[in-house]
Structure 1
Amino acid sequence: MPYIERIDEARWYSNFGPLHNEFRLRIARHFNLGADQVIFLSNATVGIALALQAVGLKRAGNRCVCPSWTFAATPHAIVLAGMSPVFADVDATTWTLNVDQVENDDIHNTAGVVVVSPFGGIVDMDRWERFAERSGVPVVCDAAASFDAVGRGEFRIGTIPIVISLHATKPLGAGEGAIVLCTDPDIIERIRQMSNFGFSTTSVAQVPGTNAKLNEYNCAIGLASLNTWPETRAKIAHLRKYYHEKLEPIDGISVFGVNQDYVSNYMIIETSADGYQLSNHLSQRQIETRRWWRSGCHQHPAFSSFNVRPLPQTRRLGVHTLGLPFFGDITQEEIDKVIDAVGEFCIRSDSLNR
């Protein structure tokens, strides 16, 4: 509420207002960056599209490689940037694009790459920085759910723009919005211009652009969320630990992203059984689940016309992964209910397979 009151006192509601500037400085400090290495946008889908345009797509063609194992926003953003998504498979363990595979696969006709951080997980950005330097192919990182993972370990912040979502389902929420991080201030400035109709210092469009600014109301929510982030993070970490310890003894179930030094707002499991059957089993017990990335983006009608090759890992993950209920206010009793139902299914599935 104090932030909302400040908006009315200043009578500044959008267009890089006081709350926007305060939020930007605090996020920059959080990631040990300068304010000129951070920009906010209205949402992460537009953020990926503008980042692709800002990195300077100088190569011939419009092929942009991305994983099929991602949320639909990733290829939508590529299309918004005027490019065509080329779907590639992911690594069986990390669920991210394989650098060597991308580099060996028609790299001369590739104009860009969007690497995706799966469900708030780690991406080896050093390898992608070296790839970009060797190949000359610009790279953007879709790190929508990775507010807590970015900057940790291999997930280094460098010259590749990293786009983080501030959507309500993400660890640090602002209702809606996005953060773009990049150590190259020129790239950040180009994104800022494109997010504000192509304006620089005057209302004369210097470059093609759109309206993708983050308004003061979303910044108010973002600042309030940042104030309580240490407590929020500790709560998420505690719940994830409890969930994992309960799931660990169940045969045929593994949890993605455990034993990592980051928190995520997802509880993604991989089951040796059929994930669709597990989902139906839980639904019958009034437990909702999510197939967040379904069977891969190449299966969506909107993207069926784009280049597709065999994607065995994506196919496997589409069948065998499932998102269990997980949110900041979930209770241990509710988690126990989920665990009991998952365990019941696995015992039944195992007995049927014998």
Structure 2
Amino acid sequence: MRSTARVQFTPPAPAHDWLPVARPHMPPASAIAPYLDHIDASRHYSNFGPLVCELEKRLAERLGPDAHAVTASSGTSALLLALMALNLPKGSVCALPSWTFVATAHAVLAAGLTPWFIDVDAETAMLDPQMCQTVLSRAPGEVRALIPVCAHGAPLDVEGWAQFQARTGVRVVVDAAAAHDSLTEAPFPMAVSVHATKSLGVGEGGYIVCPNADFALRVRMLSSFGFNGTRESQMVALNAKMSEYAAAVALSAMDNWASTRLLYQQTAFKLRIALKDVPQVQFQEGWGLRWVSSVCVVRVPQEALMPLIAFLKSHHIDSRQWWGDGCHTSRAFTDILRDTLPNTEHLAATTLGLPYCATMDDAQVARLTGLLQSFFQDA
């Protein structure tokens, strides 16, 4: 029987009227408890236990009978494992957008590949397969892999990228960190994060979905010392497995995914409706209508960005430039080769994350949207 003793601590109290830019939506302890009981009974805590296997089965089933899923310790390790599983020669050039979170570039470097930053489409904020085929002619070497990023959870042009891979022979691996909801198929490896900040919140973890059983097995071996049924290490690998405890939270989150998704969608509807007459605030295409994520990322006029951030802060409302000035500007990546990045630079000057969460109430929506209306009316 589990102890009911609680560790007592007092977190710092935020200002009572401060509206944060994001608030995780995680399963409550009561929903996770039955899975913890299962762990207590099985005494299986890691190494692809029954809960991890059940989670992988359920994740794969979402994408159809031919999909395979492998869990990982984080979204970054999921992307790293997918890149390692390509088995490309060390130093191979891997193209990636600079308009992404830094984890994308970290994974490329950790996989022993040579990253090359390229520009995204100005409208979608994502790599475009037709544009990329043209860009390849300017590469610093033969591009062997390419990573489209699902910007803030937006859906991918799956057919376009499948055609790109077939035409060019360049291996496509998708950074779908925030795109749990928008994934509908996996013709190539896609790495998803289930960090607490994501729509399917687990705390820390990730998963890879792919169409090939052999590739999935290679990913699994790479996540577990190169083992495959024996204690012999068959390849240089990592320890990047998901624990049974993380799987317990993930299964609980999956159980409640329909209601969680609805909460995110309802809040998105409220924001869209309240700001329908404020054309200066542009939502991502389809956000809250066809797909959901755990963040609200909008475009605003370039001259308004910094004044708006200051204005919101003066009213105790948080905001965030999610990807800063682009990945290429981080100190860790200053020596990485890059193509010209005009669209990335424009996105950095016009993109802002606004407060948004699954449990955002009507008063918070009204407060935020009222201030946005006031700001742009007076601008």
Query: TM-score, normalised on structure 2?
Result: 0.87
Q: Is the 8 A contact 1:244 1:258 kept in 2?
A: no
Deviations 1:118-165 (A, max 9, x none): 0110111222122222222111000011111000xxxx321x101111
Give 5+ residue unaligned stretches, structure 2: 1-32
Assess, with a 3 A threshold, how the Cα gap between structure 1 residues 251 and 102 changes in structure 2: closer, same or farther.
closer
CA separation in 1, counterparts of 2:283 and 2:176?
A: 20
For 1:48, give the aligned amino acid.
L
Does 2:244 align with 1:216? yes
Give the CA deviation at 1:322.
Answer: 0.4
Aligned pairs (5 A) from 1:22-33: 22-33=54-65
Root-mean-square deviation (CA, aligned residues, Å) is 1.5
- Which one of the candidate residues 7, 27, 35 is aligned to 1:3? 35
- Which one of the candidate residues 248, 271, 278 is aligned to 2:276? 248
Map of 2:145 onto structure 1: 112
Map of 1:44 onto structure 2: 75
Q: Per the alignment, in what secondary structure is the counterpart of residue 193 of structure 1? A: helix
Deviations 1:306-339 (A, max 9, x none): 1123211111111111000111111111011111
Q: Is the 8 A contact 1:120 1:144 kept in 2?
A: yes
CA separation in 2, counterparts of 1:157 and 1:22?
A: 19
CA separation in 2, counterparts of 1:29 and 1:136?
A: 28
CA separation in 1, counterparts of 2:52 and 2:84?
A: 23
Aligned pairs (5 A) from 1:1-354: 1-33=33-65, 37-57=68-88, 61-104=91-134, 105-106=136-137, 109-151=142-184, 156-158=185-187, 160-258=188-286, 260-272=289-301, 273-349=303-379
For 1:261, give the aligned amino acid.
R
Report the more deviating stretch, 183-192 or 245-254: 245-254
Q: Is the 8 A contact 2:94 2:147 kept in 1?
A: yes
Deviations 1:25-47 (A, max 9, x none): 2222222235x711000011111
Q: Is the 8 A contact 1:33 1:183 kept in 2?
A: no
Deviations 1:164-212 (A, max 9, x none): 1111111111111111111111111100000000111201111110000
Give the CA deviation at 1:72.
Answer: 0.6
CA separation in 2, counterparts of 1:30 and 1:311?
A: 36
CA separation in 2, counterparts of 1:225 and 1:80?
A: 30
Q: Per the alignment, in what secondary structure is the counterpart of residue 181 of structure 1? A: strand
CA separation in 2, counterparts of 1:120 and 1:14?
A: 29
Deviations 1:218-260 (A, max 9, x none): 0000011111111111111111011111112113111113364
Counting matched residue pairs gives 342
Q: Is the 8 A contact 1:61 1:110 kept in 2?
A: no
Q: Is the 8 A contact 2:173 2:190 kept in 1?
A: yes
Give 5+ residue unaligned stretches, structure 1: 350-354
CA separation in 2, counterparts of 1:14 and 1:100?
A: 43
CA separation in 1, counterparts of 2:248 and 2:198?
A: 16
Query: TM-score, normalised on structure 1?
Result: 0.93
Q: Per the alignment, in what secondary structure is the counterpart of residue 147 of structure 2? A: strand
Q: Which has the higher contact order (CA 8 A, sep 6+)?
A: 2
Q: Is the 8 A contact 1:132 1:138 kept in 2?
A: yes
Q: Is the 8 A contact 1:79 1:85 kept in 2?
A: yes
CA separation in 2, counterparts of 1:48 and 1:96?
A: 17
Give the CA deviation at 1:276.
Answer: 2.0
